[in-house]
Structure 1
Amino acid sequence: MHGVRRQRRAPPSEPEDAVQARRDLEQRRIGEYTQLCDSLYAKRASGDADDGAFDLTTRVLTLNPEFQSAWGFRRRILQKRLEQDSDDAARQNRLEADLQLTNAGLQRNPKNYSVWEHRKWVLDNMPAADWNGELMLVELYLKKDGRNFHTWDYRRYIMANLLVDAQDSATNAPNDQARKSRPTVQSELAFTTRKISENFSNFSAWHYRTKLLARQWSEKGLTETDPERVASLDQEFELVRQALWSDPNDQSAWLYHRWLIGQGTQKRLRLEIADCEQLLEEEPDCRWVLDSLVTYKRKLALQLEQEADGATGEADHLKMDCIGMLQRLQEVDPMRRARYADICYALWLRPDDDQLDEELSRLIEHLADQTGDGPTFLPHVTLLSGISSDTPQDQLEEQLRAAVRDWASDAPRGLELCLEGVDTRTPRFFQFMFAHVEANAHLLSLRAAVRAALLPDQKDKPDDYMPHLSLAYGTQGAQELIDSLTLNEGASEDTRATRDGPRRWEHTGRTFRVTGVELWACVLVTCDPAVKQILLQLDENSGRRRFIISDLDETHVLISPDAVERVRQ
Structure 2
Amino acid sequence: MHNVKRNPQTPEALAEKNQREQSKIIEFLTLTEDVLSRKKKQEWSNDAFELTQRLLQINPEFYTVWNYRRNILLNGIFPQSTPEQINDLLSNELSMTTTALKANPKVYWIWNHRRWCLENVPDGPERNGVPSMEWRQANWDKELFVVERMLDADARNFLAWNYRRYVLANMPTRRPETSELAYTSRKIGANFSNFSAWHQRSKTLVGLWESGQLDPIQSRDDEFELVSNALYTDPDDQSAWIYHRWLIGSGENKAQLEREIQLIFELLQEQPDSKWCMESLVHYKRLLLQNHSPDSQTLKQECVELLSRLMDLDPVRYFRYQDLRRDLDQ
| Fold shared by both chains (TM-score > 0.5) | yes
Residue 215 of structure 1 aligns with an amino acid whose one-letter code is: G
- Matched with 1:329 is 310
- Matched with 1:156 is 165
Q: Is 1:43 aligned to residue 24 of structure 2?
A: no
In the TM superposition, 1:70-89 aligns within 5 A as 70-81=65-76, 84-85=79-80, 87-89=82-84
Residue 14 of structure 2 aligns with an amino acid whose one-letter code is: V
- CA displacement, residues 421-479 of structure 1 (integer Å, 9 cap, x when unaligned): xxxxxxxxxxxxxxxxxxxxxxxxxxxxxxxxxxxxxxxxxxxxxxxxxxxxxxxxxxx
Cα distance in structure 2, aligned partners of 1:244 and 1:13: 50
- Matched with 2:151 is 142
- CA displacement, residues 123-164 of structure 1 (integer Å, 9 cap, x when unaligned): 111122322211221222222211111221221122112497
Residue 292 of structure 1 aligns with an amino acid whose one-letter code is: S
Cα distance in structure 2, aligned partners of 1:26 and 1:45: 29
The percentage of aligned residue pairs carrying the same residue is 42
> Measured at CA, do residues 193 and 251 of structure 1 come closer, stay the same or move farther in structure 2, by a change above 3 Å?
same
Cα distance in structure 2, aligned partners of 1:233 and 1:146: 24
- Matched with 1:261 is 248
In the TM superposition, 1:31-180 aligns within 5 A as 31-81=26-76, 84-85=79-80, 87-127=82-122, 128-129=135-136, 130-162=139-171
Tell me the secondary structure at the aligned position of residue 255 of structure 2: helix
Cα distance in structure 1, aligned partners of 2:46 and 2:69: 11
- Matched with 1:207 is 199
Cα distance in structure 1, aligned partners of 2:98 and 2:16: 32
- Matched with 1:252 is 239
Residue 98 of structure 2 aligns with an amino acid whose one-letter code is: N
Cα distance in structure 2, aligned partners of 1:52 and 1:321: 72
Q: Which runs of 5+ in 1 are unaligned?
A: 1-9, 165-181, 223-227, 306-311, 345-388, 390-521, 525-533, 535-569
What is the CA distance between 1:83 and its match in structure 2?
5.7
What is the CA distance between 1:40 and its match in structure 2?
2.5
What is the CA distance between 1:78 and its match in structure 2?
2.1
Counterpart pick for 2:216 among 229, 252, 255: 229
Check conservation: 1:189, 1:212, Cα contact below 8 A: yes
Q: What is the TM-score of this pair, normalised by structure 2?
A: 0.86
Q: Is 1:342 aligned to residue 323 of structure 2?
A: yes
- CA displacement, residues 320-345 of structure 1 (integer Å, 9 cap, x when unaligned): 3222211211111112212212225x
> Measured at CA, do residues 337 and 279 of structure 1 come closer, stay the same or move farther in structure 2, by a change above 3 Å?
same
What is the CA distance between 1:313 and its match in structure 2?
2.4
Check conservation: 2:86, 2:121, Cα contact below 8 A: yes
What is the CA distance between 1:248 and its match in structure 2?
0.5
- Matched with 1:187 is 179
What is the CA distance between 1:104 and its match in structure 2?
2.1
Counterpart pick for 2:267 among 262, 265, 279: 279
- Matched with 2:298 is 317
Residue 214 of structure 1 aligns with an amino acid whose one-letter code is: V
Tell me the secondary structure at the aligned position of residue 51 of structure 2: helix
Cα distance in structure 2, aligned partners of 1:241 and 1:52: 58
Cα distance in structure 2, aligned partners of 1:329 and 1:79: 59
User: Per residue, is there more strand in 1 or in 2?
Assistant: 1
Check conservation: 1:217, 1:229, Cα contact below 8 A: yes
Cα distance in structure 2, aligned partners of 1:115 and 1:106: 7
Tell me the secondary structure at the aligned position of residue 211 of structure 2: helix
Check conservation: 2:180, 2:204, Cα contact below 8 A: yes
Cα distance in structure 2, aligned partners of 1:221 and 1:191: 17
Q: Which runs of 5+ in 2 are unaligned?
A: 123-134
Cα distance in structure 2, aligned partners of 1:278 and 1:138: 40
Cα distance in structure 1, aligned partners of 2:17 and 2:316: 46
Cα distance in structure 2, aligned partners of 1:299 and 1:60: 55
User: Per residue, is there more helix in 1 or in 2?
Assistant: 2
Check conservation: 1:62, 1:105, Cα contact below 8 A: yes
- CA displacement, residues 178-214 of structure 1 (integer Å, 9 cap, x when unaligned): xxxx732111111111111111100110000000000
Check conservation: 1:329, 1:340, Cα contact below 8 A: yes
> Measured at CA, do residues 237 and 74 of structure 1 come closer, stay the same or move farther in structure 2, by a change above 3 Å?
same
- Matched with 2:228 is 241
Tell me the secondary structure at the aligned position of residue 147 of structure 1: coil
Q: Is 1:298 aligned to residue 293 of structure 2?
A: no
Aligned residues: 310
Q: What is the TM-score of this pair, normalised by structure 1?
A: 0.51
- Matched with 2:126 is none
What is the CA distance between 1:221 and its match in structure 2?
7.7
Check conservation: 2:46, 2:77, Cα contact below 8 A: no
Tell me the secondary structure at the aligned position of residue 342 of structure 1: helix
Residue 143 of structure 2 aligns with an amino acid whose one-letter code is: E
Check conservation: 2:227, 2:240, Cα contact below 8 A: yes
> Measured at CA, do residues 263 and 216 of structure 1 come closer, stay the same or move farther in structure 2, by a change above 3 Å?
farther
Cα distance in structure 2, aligned partners of 1:280 and 1:73: 57
- Matched with 2:14 is 19
Residue 258 of structure 1 aligns with an amino acid whose one-letter code is: R
RMSD: 2.4
